[in-house]
Structure 1
Amino acid sequence: MKKKLFAFVLLLLAGTVYFMFYYQKDTKIFSPKEADAIILIDTKKLTREYVYSLVGHPSLWFGSKKKNTISFRKSGVEIPDFLQVFHLKNSKVSNWYSAFELEDWKTFLSFLKQQKFTDLGNQVFRKDQIFIKILGKNLIVGSSSDDFDRVNVQLSNNSQVNLFDADSLVTNGLGSIILNTKKGSHNLSVELRHDEIEIRNQSDSYDPFPLISKLLKTDSFLETELNAENIKSFSSIFDETFADSSFINQMKASVHLEEVNDTIITYSYDDNFNEIEKKTFQKIIQPNYIIDFQSLNPEKTELYFQNKKWVNGQNQFTAIPFQPNLITQQSKGFEIKSTRKPIQQSFNLNENYIFVKNNPLLLSFLKTLSSKEKKMISDIDYIFYGNRNQDYYLKVQFKKDDLPLILRW
């Protein structure tokens, strides 16, 4: 009898674990046809990763969670087996959205109130850079409210959505990123490790680590080399015509950050109405940089700059807000160089990459961020993007810590 009872309890426990952490009732995803980038996260895999990590860190088992606090998982929102976050074509690069089904409207409003969301009216709520719009039994979460109506039209009209099987896309790691371009669709896997996030396609033919090792030896804040295809891909985020109209087919750049004294001059008057000049000083962050553009047709590139009014009478490239600088024409292109403290190009590696190394001075630029957002950024060590032929790779390396990323924030 005891053996049967033990077997029953064991079976019940195994079933509970299976349904909580493995069973996926629906892997079909409806996504807007206008989405040019989709991030898919396997929430069951993410939950398993969180639990496994938590088991290995017993010091976090009894946290300082306040009584009667409503978690997002119990906020009245249905958590899908596959969470999708998407970006719409021709939307701002910072605008990302996700949609959820609402199971308990009253509980969700209590959750918003507890989290100190501000009611903006018309069922729109905001906290910091998170916006939420309630639409009957559904809600849209986004980093902006700009495209709420557009997202709603897309998702509520069957002719404007694509249906795909998330399980076939998320084959490795915790998720996938689907990029829809004019040349086709790319599926990149997302891996979450102890202190890094790695995004890449399935090919193992591209090894970025020798390149990263070289870049880590520099003191630069930013190092990049890009060919025509990468320039077109990145510039299209801001201006789809830039790459074709400018004829620029190669770019190299090095950027250093430095803290300098800035003089502020103000004027006041004494009792006799004599003008008094007053000087004050403040610390500001100033980039020192050099940028090389190679062009297929330097004359047309120069004409493009002039039509855009990016070059003034002092040969300063005004499209870069950090002055002063000087633009000079070379044999096959142009060089833009800051003049306050000139620097030289660090590398000529003939690769396609963007490398950003974190700098403590960076946070001085990010005064509007919350303390939690600043903490996340300060924890980053470096970001690397690399591309060779059809291989794409992105790595966000965080600083070493006893806690894995999934438990840090």
Structure 2
Amino acid sequence: MNKKKIIVPLVLLLVIAVYFVGFHKNKNLRYIPENADAVVLIDIKKVTGQYLFGLVTHPSHWSGSKAKGKSSGSLKDSGIRIPDFLQIFHIKDTKFSEWYSVLEIKDSQKLIAFLKKQNFVDKGNNRFQKDQFFIIINGGHCIAGTSDLAFETIQKNLLKASSNSVLDADQFIHNTTGSISFISGEKIQNFSIELHDDEIEIKNNSNPGILDALASKLQKGNHFMEIELDKESIKNLSHFFNKSIADSSQAIYFKATADLEQVNDTIISYEYDDNFNEIEKKTFQKITQPNYTLDIKSDDPDKTWAYLQSEKWINSRNQFTAIPFQPNQVSQNIDGIIIQSSGKPIALSPRLQENYIFIRNSSLLYSSLKTLSASEKRIISDIDYVLYGNKSQDYWVKIKAKNGELPLILRW
């Protein structure tokens, strides 16, 4: 038999197999409810491809990755059917911190064993919890979320085959690692999520030059946090917290600068001697606290002050109680409101005439986060800065990691 007649079909079959395994994707999104107002999609095959490429080009990591996989357990062996697009959604009129995802189950016993191995606590009735992550198993599906408040609603409305509306991934994502989309009626606003060697970018445009120039300016400073927002940006960001804040406060400009400082905190307790005399005992601990100045420019400072008082954010001692840190002082001037920390108020950084939120990493930040696990602290310590910026209708978020020998997908 002619060898070419055998080799050609085999090569063709191999190409077809590689396409379906590595590139062909099921773009049907069956688990996004009609009342979702935000959707995050992760292209699992693209992420897997980036991981494999990173692994191949960094052979020094091979032995370490194998050891890590054995100790932590593999998602492929978790009993879950890995989708081509991981669908994470937020439901309208719920807290901003509440996000959910629905996954298909291949083997529920494997899934339960996997969850126990990951230190999830069995809460009964097929519910499991680990810190702020919740999972419920319902027949051939499981619902995962950062809360369990909407589990019942999702089970009733989403897992009924008759009520499922199938969406297309192309409505949300276009050849990027992931996307985050905001839904308002028929309108969908998409932001791409791109994973690079040492940064993650979220944006709705293809021109990174403006953000890079802004980042370059801000990196020359040394403050922990710098914020500058105009009226429109204040209004847009306030939608995530309280839609009435921007309009009711009359704010037209916001500027903030903050630094972190480690100080000694005195704890006073009382003991009793053998004669039942009260003895005062002082102990000291180091705590991390911010020093800051916040400047709120207003069209009508009197109305802004009245609004803050009506929200009970200014108390009788002229302290701004919405900031849950050490005492501060809030005062009114002809332009608006100034809030300064009492400990060590700092001068505002120069005005750049841009819209941005810039947070620089600090060892004081992640060392003070006692509730985080060792791996979570390691990830946070690896971050250089986080930057949000916008100009007109263009928005960006950049999470910049420190330069390292390995790309982020192998580090985190």
| Length-normalised TM-score, structure 1 | 0.92
What is the correspondence of 1:292-311 to structure 2 with a 5 Å cutoff? 292-311=295-314
Deviation, structure 1 residue 68 = 10
Instruction: List per-residue Cα deviations over 1:211-245 (Å, max 9, x = no partner).
Output: 11111122211111112232233223232322222
* Partner residue, 1:383: 386
* Partner residue, 2:140: 137
- Indicate conservation of the 8 Å contact 1:29/1:166, yes or no: no
Q: Which residue identity does 1:42 align to in structure 2?
A: D
Deviation, structure 1 residue 146 = 2.0
- Indicate conservation of the 8 Å contact 1:255/1:289, yes or no: yes
**1:217 maps to 2:220:** yes
Q: 1:65 to 1:277 in 2, by over 3 A?
A: closer
SS in structure 1 of the partner of residue 158 of structure 2: helix
* Partner residue, 2:37: 36
* Distance in 2, Cα, partners of 1:2 & 1:123: 57
* Partner residue, 1:169: 172
* Partner residue, 1:14: 15
| Number of matched pairs | 409
Equivalent pairs: percent with the same residue?
50
* Partner residue, 1:50: 51
Q: 1:401 to 1:205 in 2, by over 3 A?
A: closer
What is the correspondence of 1:246-395 to structure 2 with a 5 Å cutoff? 246-395=249-398
* Distance in 2, Cα, partners of 1:182 & 1:226: 28
Instruction: List per-residue Cα deviations over 1:129-164 (Å, max 9, x = no partner).
Output: 321111111111112222212333342367976543
Q: 1:38 to 1:126 in 2, by over 3 A?
A: same
Q: Answer with 30-39 or 246-255: which moved more.
A: 30-39
Q: 1:32 to 1:67 in 2, by over 3 A?
A: closer
- Indicate conservation of the 8 Å contact 1:198/1:396, yes or no: yes
- Indicate conservation of the 8 Å contact 1:32/1:160, yes or no: no
Deviation, structure 1 residue 6 = 3.8
* Partner residue, 1:408: 411
Q: Answer with 77-86 or 111-120: which moved more.
A: 111-120
**1:242 maps to 2:245:** yes
* Partner residue, 2:100: 97
Q: 1:280 to 1:68 in 2, by over 3 A?
A: closer
* Distance in 2, Cα, partners of 1:356 & 1:176: 23
**Gap runs ≥5 in structure 1:** none
**1:201 maps to 2:238:** no
SS in structure 2 of the partner of residue 252 of structure 1: strand
SS in structure 2 of the partner of residue 156 of structure 1: coil
* Distance in 2, Cα, partners of 1:113 & 1:61: 27
What is the correspondence of 1:116-155 to structure 2 with a 5 Å cutoff? 116-155=119-158
- Indicate conservation of the 8 Å contact 1:206/1:388, yes or no: no
Instruction: List per-residue Cα deviations over 1:273-306 (Å, max 9, x = no partner).
Output: 4432222211000100000111222222111122
Q: Which residue identity does 1:49 align to in structure 2?
A: Q
Instruction: List per-residue Cα deviations over 1:99-145 (Å, max 9, x = no partner).
Output: 11112223222322333321111211122332111111111111222
Q: 1:321 to 1:205 in 2, by over 3 A?
A: closer
Deviation, structure 1 residue 339 = 2.1
| Length-normalised TM-score, structure 2 | 0.92
Q: 1:141 to 1:291 in 2, by over 3 A?
A: same
SS in structure 2 of the partner of residue 77 of structure 1: coil
Deviation, structure 1 residue 8 = 4.2
* Partner residue, 1:191: 194
